[in-house]
Amino acid sequence: MTIPIKKIILRRLMMQLNDPFTTSFGTMEDKEFFIAEVVDSEGNRGFGESVAFTIPWYSEETVKTNLHVIEDFLINILKENKINHPEEVHDLFSSIRGNNMAKSTLEGAIWDLYAKRQGVPLSQLLGGDKTEIDVGISIGIQPSVNDLLLTIGHYVREGYKRIKLKIKPGWDIDVLRKVRESFPDTLIMADANSAYTLDDLEHLKKLDEFDLMMIEQPLEHDDIVDHAKLQAEIHTPICLDESIHSLADARKAVELGSCKIINIKIGRVGGLREAKRIHDYCLEKGVAVWCGGMLEAGVGRAHNVALTTLPQFTLPGDTAGSSRYWKKDIIKPEVFVENGVIKVPTKSGIGYDIDDEALEEFTVEKREYVF
Ligand SMILES: O=C(O)CCC(=O)c1ccccc1C(=O)O
Ligand SMILES: [Mg+2]
């Protein structure tokens, strides 16, 4: 049966992060992003969140390019086509190149809407069966090593299952050495967000000293070839993030030996259908995956929780609790982490209710598209 879409509401939100988040690129203090709401003829509401940032440092997309692509192309495609199942949306959008985060925003809302219409949790609709998921936390670059050690200690005591540290040239080997001395048994990994090149090979070999679970995206954001050369020279497993936009990218990286682990982000790969296809491929090939994060608010976080219930998500992801990012989230209840574990919600769709008051409070712009 066709999903009877009546209206799409696109809200631009602005939310302040509790703590600034610093990567090899720079510092984020607040977050501007879109929430899409797809409403059907019976008044069911499906929600999707865009993970694009204001500045194109992580990928080419931005909040502004999202609006252009959603409003000028993707909404028209939805208006002109009948959709029976959310799995069809990815192919419908394939006439538009790239812009995966924009596509994922609408696709995610349609998945949520469809799951609600069926009365099933999104996790179940995707084929996941975990009732709890293990999560880690990603810690930004800190003002000093002492601050970092205190921050790690705090989250280790809260029970997060693994600690991810952001690194960059000048904040790497010496920092990791001190972290290892203080936390000899903690599961630790590092994320460079493309801060190095193969010219740093001898330097990167020193990472092997620290028994890291993995090094995430050490080289260029669009590279898979140099990563294969690097992986051949280091023992620490490489995990690719920025470089993987599709199942085809994942296959090429695995075949080339560019990585041993893949970070799957729903927005980066253009939605849940492609995320699931990458997952299924990695399951078949025995490549471990985990769910990455983009400092999401509650809607995006809920989608991440649902995806992580699939079986090959064997490593703790970056889906920390809402309170790590926000004073108040836009969902009720917020995503709650206890001893590094999130209980997967059992209600239909994304499984969390929208806090309409909070959604309204953080909305700075609202547009409606009537079908
Ligand atoms: O806590 C999170 O949501 C993940 C934090 C994180 O590492 C990150 C945050 C923003 C952009 C890119 C990344 C990344 O995984 O590279
Ligand atoms: Mg990363």
List, chain by chain if needed, residues with CB within 6 Å of any ligand 1 atom: 58, 138, 191, 193, 241, 292-295, 318, 320
Whether pLDDT at 26 is above 90? no
Q: How confident is the model at residue 121 (pLDDT cuts 50, 70, 90)?
A: very high
* Rounded average pLDDT over 48-53: 98
Give the torsion sign (CA, 317, 160, 171, 257). negative
Q: Residue 50 is inside which H or E element, if any? A: none
Distance 296 CA to ligand 1 centre (A): 9
CA of 294 to the centre of ligand 1 (A): 5
Catalytic residue among 103, 116, 161, 166: 166
Q: To which CATH superfamily is domain 124-350 assigned? A: Enolase-like C-terminal domain (3.20.20.120)
If you measure from the C-alpha of residue 347 to the centroid of ligand 2, how many angstroms do you get, rounded to a whole number?
30
Confidence of residue 335 (pLDDT cuts 50, 70, 90): very high
Out of 31, 238, 294, 303, mutate this one to test ligand 1's pocket (max ligand atoms within 8 Å of CB): namely 294
Delimit the domains of the chain by residue range.
Answer: 5-120+354-370, 124-350
Q: Was 42 annotated as part of a binding site?
A: no
ipTM of the complex: 0.99
**How many Å is the maximal CA-CA distance in the chain?**
61
Please tell me the chain's helix, strand, coil percentages from 3-state DSSP, rounded to the nearest 5: 40, 25, 35
Question: Is 7 one of the catalytic residues?
Answer: no
Q: Do domains 5-120+354-370 and 124-350 have the same CATH topology?
A: no
pLDDT mean over 69-76: 98
Nearest CA to ligand 1 atom 9: 294
Whose Cα sits closest to atom 13 in ligand 1? 294
* Residue 216 known to bind ligand: yes
Closest ligand 1 atom to Cα of 164: 7
Angle between helices 247-256 and 272-285 (to 10 degrees): 30
Choice from 19, 21, 57, 162 to test ligand 1 binding pocket (greatest atom count within 8 A of CB): 21
pLDDT confidence of residue 25: 85
**Ligand 1: which of 22, 23, 269 to mutate, most ligand atoms within 8 Å of CB?**
23
Domain 5-120+354-370: assigned CATH number: 3.30.390.10
Task: Pick the catalytic residue from 265, 285, 328, 332.
Answer: 265
Q: What is the mean pLDDT of residues 289-297?
A: 98
Q: Contact 13/297 with Cβ under 8 angstroms?
A: yes
Q: Is 229 a catalytic residue?
A: no
Q: Mean per-residue pLDDT for 65-73?
A: 98
Unique residue bearing structure tokens 């419908």: 92
Known binding residue 208? Answer is no
Work out the average pLDDT over 284-305.
98
Nearest listed ligand to the Cα of residue 293: 1
Q: Six-digit token pair at 92?
A: 């419908």
- The residue whose CA has the least distance to atom 11 of ligand 1 is 294
The Å distance, Cα 32 to ligand 2 centre, comes to 19
- pLDDT tens-place string over residues 186-200: 999 999 999 999 999
Give me ligand 2 centre to Cα 211, in Å.
19
Helix (H, G, I), strand (E, B) or coil at 55: coil
Cα 208 to Cα 333: distance, rounded to the nearest angstrom: 41
Looking at residue 313, its pLDDT comes to 98
Q: pLDDT tens across 342-352, in order?
A: 999 999 999 99
Ligand 1 atom 8: the closest Cα is on which residue? Answer: 294
pLDDT score, position 13: 98
Average model confidence (pLDDT) across the chain: 97
- Report how far ligand 2's centroid is from the alpha carbon of 350 (Å): 24
**Neighbouring residues of 189: CB distance < 8 A, sequence distance ≥ 6:** 162, 163, 164, 165, 212, 213, 214, 215, 216, 239
In 212-326, beta strands by DSSP E = 215-216, 238-240, 261-264, 288-291
Q: What is the percentage of the chain residues whose pLDDT exceeds 70? A: 100
Which ligand 1 atom is at minimum distance from the Cα of 28?
10
pLDDT attached to residue 24: 83
What is the structure's pLDDT at 95? 96
- In this prediction, residues 306-316 reach a mean pLDDT of 98
What's the pLDDT tens digit per position in 223-277?
Answer: 999 999 999 999 999 999 999 999 999 999 999 999 999 999 999 999 999 999 9
